Structure 1
């Protein structure tokens, strides 16, 4: 497997997403994630997470989608650029909107607007303003919805090369705000002009939304038969793209108009269509449930990955802190030792500057493998994690300090003898180590024991590196 091969895997993921083959997409992204991690291809890892989130969202597995978004944002914080952060924020907004967590959606959108503005990604900023308008309209705050949609249009007009559909989508939100404000002098003419736009020949979803808006405008003008015709056309477009959720809203409005015009025969037909649609939606819900069961094994995989650092395959900081807190609480009750080993790769910046970041990543992976093989005795009672950057932390439950010191010294010697190769050159590596324990139950919080181990680690660095120091009885030695 090469980085070029990953490009084709990313392309296939995009194709599966466009075609709506979500079960295949989830499996494909599992494969992409594994291979991208092995090759240390950050772009492909981030792509896999984004497509995972999209696929789970599309089948209604919102919790799993959130896990994928969380994994994307965590990885992005270390290896992604700001464009990838924007991608993560956009997925978050969709999930918040789905769950009607409008306050969180607005917060994410404000961050997206700020970041996109700094990057001058005017299309992303326009989308963020437009989505903010959509959220406000859901809350029936149509004045704010109008304000944000107008700002979205300004941003769309700044985007180069010009993308007419971007402007059109913002205008849908502007028209939606005007309809909500009962501004019939503005909304009707605007929607009528939009319906004549040739863009709609290629964008049926936008055509459906446009006719739906026009129907709502005509209802407010009490032109019920014309409104029904508009909703009929919207329903045709929604049917053609098989968007049953849009169609459900349209059918509800068709039923309401039939009551307003007191056309019982037509009302019966529309009501029957609506009932059939609800049955179809119910069947789709059942199908989605089956699909969730089909990909259940992938959910377990994602939950596992949420605890794993993707570069080193060690536990991540969050998982370490959760487990250490439980162990220390129990140690405080039962009176046994918990020891913390903090380890830092010496001269990591120099390695990155001299040999490149890929070499630094490789050195960190090799050090992690050495720690795993030398320090581990009982995985159920010990946890090794990447705490951040080039710092690793090892927690030993029911292990006295003197035994931890013996194992740490063995690790020092082994790492000093390691030969890490990069482009036929040997990269010299050493580590500095600090140790501390819970002092017979005196420290019951992870922050306390880690602080002391970190102080000992700092002393090792200050004393010349490639050594260990111990924090014991308030003294570092």
Structure 2
């Protein structure tokens, strides 16, 4: 996989997100994530996680969106820069807002403002203050909404080159704050000026929001008939872009106005339209549920692939170290035994040189199959993984060294019986094994236990290979 191809895939992900093709985006990011993990391309992995989060949120799969944000932030802590951290914060705020976790949203926004200010990313800082204004309005804190909106506008003016839509979106929140404060002397002229802005010819969603805001301002002024007209225009634009949530809010306001105006005929029509929107939303929720089930399946597959070695289908080193570290830490607290077994193919380089690397791969897979059959008894207390190259590691949680010896000797005997051929050529296979334990909790770190098992493995090699040794250097036949 070339850097150019992964770069192209990242660009494609952004294109799908901008176009709102979320089902395709999820599938595309599945592939991007898998390939990025395999190639250890950190930018590709981070890109997949952040676009996954956006796509899951947009289809209503909030749980999966949170998982993707969490995965992004964790991966970012190891491999990302501050720009990636800022991306993660922005997505996180959207999810908090959706769940009405406003305090969490405000906390995340403050982190984003601090980071964006330090990086001088004034567009991101402006968005953060604008979102903070929105959160304040949701909490009916319109003074706070106005204060943060005005700061957001100041930050937007700092951004070079000028981006008109950045300022316009902040102004929507400022005008919303004025309406909430019943400050019609500021709200009216501001909204009317925004309605005359040529930018609305391009941004239909903002046009719908602007007419909705204008209708709310007119209601405050008791201009109910004019407000109804403004809401009707907002309805048409929201329908055009199929923003059902915005459409639902507008229709609710139209229903209220029809009651105030005592227009029963129009009220009946609006109620029918409102019911249709609710029905469409309900059907959409069913579609989202089906998609979420499919998404969960895909996510589970990706998570498994992220933990599994692609050649042997055993767990990989990262997963081994994570799980073993937890087991050893718990065992240290409880004084429980954990056994570590390290296994290495004898003369593996010679096999590759003589028969070719495909033959070496086949031999390694056969050994892994035998290990699974003989050693692996329980997923909850045992873990078999490929540590690297031709070295395998087996961890037994709660098993003593003496009890494990019998199983290891049985494994050695089974491997000695193997008759492996590649292109009709027999390949001689033996293994050397080293084993140790955590001394009933004395060793709580994987690196310490693995080092001892690895030393025992090299003792087996030094003693002639095709045998098992414990850390104490006593050879078992």
Q: TM-score, normalised by structure 1?
A: 0.72
Q: How does 1:290-305 map to 2 (within 5 A)?
A: 290-304=290-304
Contact 1:46 1:80 in 2 (8 A): yes
Deviation, 1:49, is: 0.8
- Counterpart-to-counterpart distance in 2, 1:323 and 1:63: 28
- Counterpart-to-counterpart distance in 1, 2:394 and 2:73: 25
- Is 2:441 the partner of 1:437? no
- Match in the other structure for 1:38: 38
Q: 1:322 to 1:57 in 2, by over 3 A?
A: farther
Structure 1: tracts of 5 or more residues without a match: 342-368, 387-392, 408-434, 458-469, 473-477
- Match in the other structure for 2:8: 8
- Is 2:171 the partner of 1:171? yes
- Match in the other structure for 1:289: 289
Structure 2 counterpart of 1:450, from 444, 452, 458: 444
- Match in the other structure for 1:232: 232
Q: 1:306 to 1:104 in 2, by over 3 A?
A: farther
- Is 2:188 the partner of 1:196? no
- Match in the other structure for 1:257: 257
Contact 2:328 2:444 in 1 (8 A): no
Q: 1:188 to 1:385 in 2, by over 3 A?
A: farther
Q: Size of the alignment, in residue pairs?
A: 392
Contact 2:205 2:237 in 1 (8 A): yes
- Counterpart-to-counterpart distance in 2, 1:157 and 1:17: 27
Deviations 1:335-388 (A, max 9, x none): 8512579xxxxxxxxxxxxxxxxxxxxxxxxxxx9xx98x995484444899xx
- Counterpart-to-counterpart distance in 1, 2:143 and 2:384: 53
Contact 2:142 2:180 in 1 (8 A): yes
Q: How does 1:96-107 map to 2 (within 5 A)?
A: 96-107=96-107
- Is 2:300 the partner of 1:314? no
Q: 1:286 to 1:455 in 2, by over 3 A?
A: closer
Q: 1:39 to 1:453 in 2, by over 3 A?
A: closer
Task: Specify the SS of the correspondent of 1:60.
Answer: coil
Contact 1:452 1:471 in 2 (8 A): no
Contact 2:195 2:210 in 1 (8 A): yes
Deviation, 1:292, is: 2.0
Contact 2:329 2:445 in 1 (8 A): no
Q: 1:261 to 1:28 in 2, by over 3 A?
A: same
- Counterpart-to-counterpart distance in 1, 2:78 and 2:320: 13
- Counterpart-to-counterpart distance in 2, 1:339 and 1:47: 39
- Match in the other structure for 2:355: none
Deviations 1:18-72 (A, max 9, x none): 3333222222111111112222221111111111111111111111111111111
Q: How does 1:94-173 map to 2 (within 5 A)?
A: 94-173=94-173
Deviations 1:415-464 (A, max 9, x none): xxxxxxxxxxxxxxxxxxxx87263xxx5xxxx8526976998xxxxxxx
- Is 2:267 the partner of 1:267? yes
- Match in the other structure for 2:208: 208
Which sits farther off after the overlay, 291-300 or 249-258?
291-300
- Match in the other structure for 2:82: 82
Task: Specify the SS of the correspondent of 2:144.
Answer: helix
Deviation, 1:84, is: 0.7
Deviations 1:399-422 (A, max 9, x none): 446889xx9xxxxxxxxxxxxxxx
Contact 1:436 1:453 in 2 (8 A): no
- Match in the other structure for 1:467: none
- Counterpart-to-counterpart distance in 2, 1:86 and 1:394: 40
Task: Specify the SS of the correspondent of 1:179.
Answer: helix
- Match in the other structure for 1:358: none
- Is 2:183 the partner of 1:183? yes
Deviation, 1:324, is: 5.2
Deviation, 1:240, is: 1.2
- Counterpart-to-counterpart distance in 1, 2:78 and 2:142: 39
Q: 1:66 to 1:302 in 2, by over 3 A?
A: farther
Deviation, 1:15, is: 2.6
Q: 1:383 to 1:153 in 2, by over 3 A?
A: farther
Which sits farther off after the overlay, 16-25 or 195-204?
16-25
Q: 1:221 to 1:285 in 2, by over 3 A?
A: same
Q: Which has the larger radius of gyration?
A: 2
Q: TM-score, normalised by structure 2?
A: 0.72
Task: Specify the SS of the correspondent of 1:161.
Answer: coil
Q: 1:168 to 1:438 in 2, by over 3 A?
A: farther
Q: 1:383 to 1:239 in 2, by over 3 A?
A: same
- Counterpart-to-counterpart distance in 1, 2:450 and 2:33: 37
- Counterpart-to-counterpart distance in 1, 2:38 and 2:226: 60
Q: 1:148 to 1:382 in 2, by over 3 A?
A: same
- Counterpart-to-counterpart distance in 2, 1:309 and 1:157: 50
Task: Specify the SS of the correspondent of 1:314.
Answer: helix
Contact 1:23 1:295 in 2 (8 A): no
- Match in the other structure for 1:25: 25
